[in-house]
A and B are shown apart, each in its own frame.
Chain A
Amino acid sequence: MTEELLQVNNISKNFAGVQALEGVSFTISRGEIRCLVGENGSGKSTLIKIIAGVYQPSKGEIAFHGKLQGNIRPRNALDAGIQVIYQDFSLFPNLTAAENIALNYQLSRNKKFVNWREVHAIAAEAIKLIEVDLDLDAIVGEMSVADKQLIAISRALLQNAQLIIMDEPTTALTQREIEALFYVIRNLKEKGISILFVSHKLSEVQEIADNIMILRNGIKVADGVSDEFDLAKLAYFMTGREITESSFVYDPAGKSPISILTVKNLTLPGRFFNISFDLKQGEILGIAGLLGSGRTDLALALFGIKPAKSGEVSIEGQQVHIRNIQDAMRFKIGYVPEDRLTEGLFLKQSIGRNTIIRILDRAIGWLGLISPKKFKEQIAIWVKRLRIKTNDPGLPVASLSGGNQQRVVLGKWLASNPKVLILNGPTVGVDIGSKMELHELIKELARKGLGTLILSDDLPELMHTCNRILLMRNGRIVEEFTTGDITEQELNQKITESIA
């Protein structure tokens, strides 16, 4: 019988006058994989938390297994077999995998004593359910994100989960790990377990979902069978506007462009070997490769965090030695680490202050103190130069739209006037609307002559923003492509080709 596991009827929620959800209804049946799609702030998390009993809805009703629930407490949701795997997985980094898997189960059975053999047996049984192999004695803090996720899933299964809600489960996973996760999810489906998969990565959603529903500003704007949607349609529903992204055209404008960064035989034993490439002014060069290919190490070496052991680096033809971050900054190399774009802001501080934080020295006046007058001048200059859309730079950064926030973050780095900008995973965790805006900004900067290196797992991103892509594997550059000459599929194949 196709039982309605979860029924959500006309749920609304407001927080202190802000409408987070309005009249959302849907159902999940046994063994259904339903994807919940929406931009940041669309109300996805609020909806999950209402189902899990963390928040109480302002209006509407919820039924588990066809039975209408009153006030749902977290305990009720758990008893109904509803398990949420939050983005942080709620694991204990100091304990072993086995204990992490078994602990909640033991606790829910009101165990007072710990039998370690039993803990092991329970954990072994649990990972068998999802047909994966894990080192149960490893300390969870030392395991990969993918493994942590598997631990969180097996822990949920132990608690007799019938609906597993996964909040942005693929955020920190590599392509291969995502495929492994999807394998597990399909497996669960076969066992009759339902999945609510919350994501803003549209291509993944399409691959895994039976049904897709889309939230925008707290309202369900679309709901249907996965096949009814294509990427463009999903993006349209999610953002409320047409998203079209043109690919980057590198135009040296007739004149022969100068090499802004030249790398020759750069080597750091154990990390990368004999790396050579040339970055011209105005170019956007992508570096693709699996996690562990050495691409992040290369970026760290170029920025002086973990300097290379041998090889040459030249900036505008001038050989330089980068031994530390101070050197790299003196040679006008900028590095934006992963997640810095999303987390590199002081959200409660003003837009202006955030923008000029890296160039406070230009606002120094009398006695080496910060001059309020120069401070304001600098803010005015940069807000204008970065075209941040705001009436008042004194407002907190949190008041800006996602895309404009990203402008502030990038602007912070640009204010220090780099010649080479290295971006590591520039749009990890960014929703599609902001992502496009950010890509446009990167292209615009390149047109003004900045040399940019982008390290990314996101192939469409590389295809859209770069004019050339280097492929790294096992610490070596194995191939180079011009983006016009290769399709995304071909590139994907090259990247995932077996590492023999």
Chain B
Amino acid sequence: MFRQLFRKHEFFIAIILIVISLTIGLINPRFFSLANVFSLLRRATIMGIFSMGVLIVLISGGIDVSFTGIAIFSMYTTVSILVARDFQGSIFLPFIISGLLGLILGLINGVIIGVFKLPTLIVTLGTLSLYRGAMLFFVGSNYYNQAELPVAIKEFARASVFTVETSSGKTGLHPTFFILAFLGFIVWYVLKYTMLGRSFYAMGGDRESAERAGFNILRTQLIIYGFAGLLSGIGGMIVGALFRQANPFSIVGTELDIIAAAVLGGASIAGGRGSVIGTLLGVVLITIAKNSLVLLGIPSEWQRVIVGFFILLGTAIPMVQSLVVQRRLAMQRDEIPVTS
């Protein structure tokens, strides 16, 4: 039982997470206050939604750095359209438009990658820049502040469940958390219990074998990058709502943090490995590293250092695991008696 746990990457990340939470909480009990927990979850939710797309891309053996570009393009374009038409409807339409825009941009990635068989990193580096540039040129670079946003988005930003009264005011859990929980469940189910999900792992494990086995690689890639784009569009809208502004420059540069969270959670850059649980644990760990160290009195400049340290740690764990296994085998061999 323990040996099985030991082989699980998620087990180590969970332990690190618990140790760090307890340490921070013991030094500064405010860490465990509802206000702080809800605020952390809010930040982790945004990262978490993007991370699901990133996870699937990584499992299939690719890497996508364009998702922040897609997210902001979709959100900002949606808000621009809605503001221009003085939109008064419900929150669903903004999400649908943004999601569709994301899906289209993701499919463009998928077509370039799948049809022309180009390296995913290069393609998405290219489209990241392309989408951002196109947005700034064609849609604009004006920033919409809270007052200018459509009413539905403003209301959505204020939404809250489990609202509690604390000394510092009202606090609650934002409903986007449930969007993430739902998405997480879907992705987990698809990865584990559908042939589509297994085809992602097969492709990431050995692309040529997957092709020989009869998987339709092009179709799978379109699904993967289309889905990642859809999630980016939805995630972008959530960013706009929760930040309470449509800023064409927000979340730029956070691509690598999210990829790092997935890698920390056990996804392999080389493809073929990764899980929803691990990725979400990685997201929480990075969120804490970026937001809660201040509670310990650690200067905020150190955030990057700690995040970097976690990434190294996360990639080192599988190495250490295999070393331990090897050493155990060597020890066993040492006990073989001499026969002649």
Contact A114 B193 (CB under 8 A): yes
Task: With CB as the reference atom, state the residue of chain B lying closest to A78.
Answer: B214
B167 on interface, CB distance cutoff 8 Å: no
A92 on interface, CB distance cutoff 8 Å: yes
Contact A113 B194 (CB under 8 A): yes
Nearest CB in chain B: distance from A314 CB, A: 26
Nearest CB in chain A: distance from B9 CB, A: 13
Q: How far apart are the CA atoms of A107 and B340 in the complex, in Å? A: 52
Binary interface encoding of chain A residues 90-105 relative to chain B, with 1 for a CB under 8 A from any of its CBs, else 0? 1111110001000110
Contact pick for A94, options B196, B204, B213, CB 8 Å: B204
Binary interface encoding of chain A residues 65-98 relative to chain B, with 1 for a CB under 8 A from any of its CBs, else 0? 0000000001000000000000010111111000
A253 on interface, CB distance cutoff 8 Å: no
Contact pick for B213, options A93, A104, A114, CB 8 Å: A104
Kindly list chain A residues whose C-beta atoms are within 8 Å of the C-beta of B192. 114
A269 on interface, CB distance cutoff 8 Å: yes
Instruction: Tell whether A103 pairs with B204 under 8 Å between CB atoms, given A111-B195, A113-B194.
Output: no
Q: How far apart are the CA atoms of A95 and B330 in the complex, in Å? A: 25
Kindly list chain A residues whose C-beta atoms are within 8 Å of the C-beta of B161. none
Kindly list chain A residues whose C-beta atoms are within 8 Å of the C-beta of B195. 106-107, 111-114
Stretch at the interface among A347-355, A473-481, A484-492: A473-481
Contact A114 B333 (CB under 8 A): no
Size class of B's contact patch?
20 to 34
Q: How far apart are the CA atoms of A8 and B104 in the complex, in Å? A: 49
Contact A92 B194 (CB under 8 A): no
Kindly list chain A residues whose C-beta atoms are within 8 Å of the C-beta of B201. 92, 94-95
Size class of A's contact patch?
20 to 34
Main secondary structure of the interface of B (DSSP, over half): helix
A499 on interface, CB distance cutoff 8 Å: yes
Contact B209 A92 (CB under 8 A): yes
Contact pick for B340, options A94, A113, A114, A478, CB 8 Å: A478
Nearest CB in chain B: distance from A426 CB, A: 27
Nearest CB in chain B: distance from A98 CB, A: 12
B147 on interface, CB distance cutoff 8 Å: no
A270 on interface, CB distance cutoff 8 Å: yes
Kindly list chain A residues whose C-beta atoms are within 8 Å of the C-beta of B339. 473-474, 478, 499-500
Tell me the residues in window 433-491 of chain A with beta carbons closer than 8 Å to chain B beta carbons.
Answer: 473-476, 478-479
Kindly list chain A residues whose C-beta atoms are within 8 Å of the C-beta of B334. 269-270
Binary interface encoding of chain A residues 165-209 relative to chain B, with 1 for a CB under 8 A from any of its CBs, else 0? 000000000000000000000000000000000000000000000
Task: With CB as the reference atom, state the residue of chain A lying closest to B339.
Answer: A500
Contact A107 B205 (CB under 8 A): no
Contact pick for B206, options A90, A114, A270, A271, CB 8 Å: A90
Task: With CB as the reference atom, state the residue of chain A lying closest to B270.
Answer: A94
A244 on interface, CB distance cutoff 8 Å: no
Task: With CB as the reference atom, state the residue of chain B lying closest to A111.
Answer: B195
A144 on interface, CB distance cutoff 8 Å: no
Kindly list chain B residues whose C-beta atoms are within 8 Å of the C-beta of A256. none
Binary interface encoding of chain B residues 270-284 relative to chain A, with 1 for a CB under 8 A from any of its CBs, else 0? 011100000000000
Contact A92 B214 (CB under 8 A): no
Nearest CB in chain A: distance from B298 CB, A: 37
B331 on interface, CB distance cutoff 8 Å: yes
Q: Ordered nearest first, which 4 A-B pairs have the shortest CB separation?
A: A270-B330, A94-B272, A92-B205, A94-B205
